[in-house]
Amino acid sequence: MGENAHVEELAREPTHDLENESPEALYAFLEERQWGDGLPVVAPTGDRVEEMLAGGDPGADPDEVLAVLPPRGGAATRRTVAVNAVMAGCPPEVFPVVVTAVRALGQQRLNLRGVNATTHPVAPLVIVHGEVVAEMGFNAEVGAFGPGNRANATVGRAVRLVLLHVAGARPGPGDAATQGQPSKYAYCTAENAAASPWGPYHHDLGVDAPSAVTVHCGENPHNFHDMESDDVERILAKAASAMTTFGVNNACISSGEWFVGLCPEHAATAAAAGWSRDDVAEHLFATARRPAREFRAQFDLLAWAPWMRDAADDDLLPMTEEAGNIRVFVTGGAGRHSCVIPSWGMTRSVTLALEA
């Protein structure tokens, strides 16, 4: 069977008619087949799936393959993505965000096969940027990573259901994470552009669009806080202390990215000192360091850049090989808590313009 025929076969998902349409019967039906994420779902009836598809580009082919997702090699068509979005409880208007996130998952640089195959607890984080944050009701303020918002919760859950059902990333043969992590249920936040002193994150990457979606495959957020200081260097010393741990994959894989989610107050302090987003990244690159001998004492295998491998034992080495691997965005509300989100290491974030 040729590759295209294989993709087409995987795109043809069967339909099932249930005599008993109660939530309990649907729950039992999914559990018997090891489908779903373990939580109750919305029944993906034909009418609901059509309504979800209409929330995107009404002229698009519902059988268009958005991405082929490993390890199963499943074809994520618009229709199969819509089925999973219905199950997750998405309102139809957020469907373009789910579609764009799925396209990002299929980008080679993201390395979804490795993300799903690793024992590391990594999950794709969806970050929503631009006009749609307000238009579609995403929460970019207090509790931006937490529960209580339909758009954040259901988009994150829809992406996970696509990974479970299309990519085959079920715990065990399809998702080898030793312990997993809570963000494997739903992992979606939004950039708080209204409270950011800098331009939109995606514009800095050259994505010239009103709205965009970033997918970064990483751990749960690692909190750091500074409740007192108006000194940006003192605040970022806390961030550097959260980064300089040997417990993350980025410690032994120097190509790994770090996402730094600054709260509005910490970002404002940086901007008041004349610092740009790049200045924050450069400072963390320069200060989040430990002696080379400590890395070598902790790891027998180091996937390092050549210049790091050649360093003397007393040289202070960074937690990533270049400042460009430290990505800064603003999210959250009042309160001086920010976070760092280390990656799995062998993955690169993807930012795409929002599409229908």
Please check whether residue 348 lies inside any domain of the structure.
no
Q: How far apart are CA 161 and CA 163, in angstroms?
A: 5
Q: How far apart are CA 106 and CA 215, in angstroms?
A: 11
Please check whether residue 72 lies inside any domain of the structure.
yes
Task: Give yes or no: residues 18 and 141 share one domain.
Answer: yes
Task: Give yes or no: residues 214 and 226 share one domain.
Answer: no
Q: How far apart are CA 126 and CA 211, in angstroms?
A: 13
**What is the number of structural domains in the chain?**
2
CA distances from 248 to 2, 18, 347 (A): 40, 46, 14
Task: Give yes or no: residues 194 and 285 share one domain.
Answer: no
Please check whether residue 355 lies inside any domain of the structure.
no
Task: Give yes or no: residues 124 and 145 share one domain.
Answer: yes
Could you identify the residue written with the tokens 């965005």?
329
139, 190 Cβ separation under 8 angstroms: yes
Domain final residue pick, 158, 184, 219? 219
| 218 φ/ψ angles, rounded to the nearest 5 degrees | -150, -175
Please check whether residue 353 lies inside any domain of the structure.
no
Q: Virtual CA dihedral for 344, 345, 346, 352, nearest 10 degrees?
A: 80
Q: How far apart are CA 299 and CA 173, in angstroms?
A: 27
Task: Give yes or no: residues 35 and 183 share one domain.
Answer: yes
Please check whether residue 350 lies inside any domain of the structure.
no
Please check whether residue 102 lies inside any domain of the structure.
yes
Task: Give yes or no: residues 151 and 256 share one domain.
Answer: no
Task: Give yes or no: residues 317 and 206 share one domain.
Answer: no
Please check whether residue 67 lies inside any domain of the structure.
yes
Domain final residue pick, 219, 252, 278? 219
Domain final residue pick, 219, 246, 266? 219
Please check whether residue 160 lies inside any domain of the structure.
yes
CA distances from 335 to 118, 149, 161, 248, 286 (A): 35, 19, 33, 26, 26
Task: Give yes or no: residues 157 and 228 share one domain.
Answer: no
User: What domain range includes position 82?
Assistant: 3-219
Task: Give yes or no: residues 60 and 157 share one domain.
Answer: yes
Written as six digits, the tokens of 302 are 């180091």
220, 146 Cβ separation under 8 angstroms: no
Per-residue pLDDT of the chain (356 residues; tens, 9 = 90+): 344 444 444 445 567 777 777 888 888 989 998 899 999 999 999 999 999 999 999 899 999 999 999 999 999 999 999 999 999 999 999 999 999 999 999 999 999 999 999 999 999 999 999 999 999 999 999 999 999 999 999 999 999 999 999 999 999 989 999 999 999 999 999 999 999 999 999 999 999 999 999 999 999 999 999 999 999 999 999 999 999 999 999 999 999 999 999 999 999 999 999 999 999 999 999 999 999 999 999 999 999 999 999 999 999 999 999 999 999 999 999 999 999 999 999 999 999 999 86
Task: Give yes or no: residues 212 and 187 share one domain.
Answer: yes
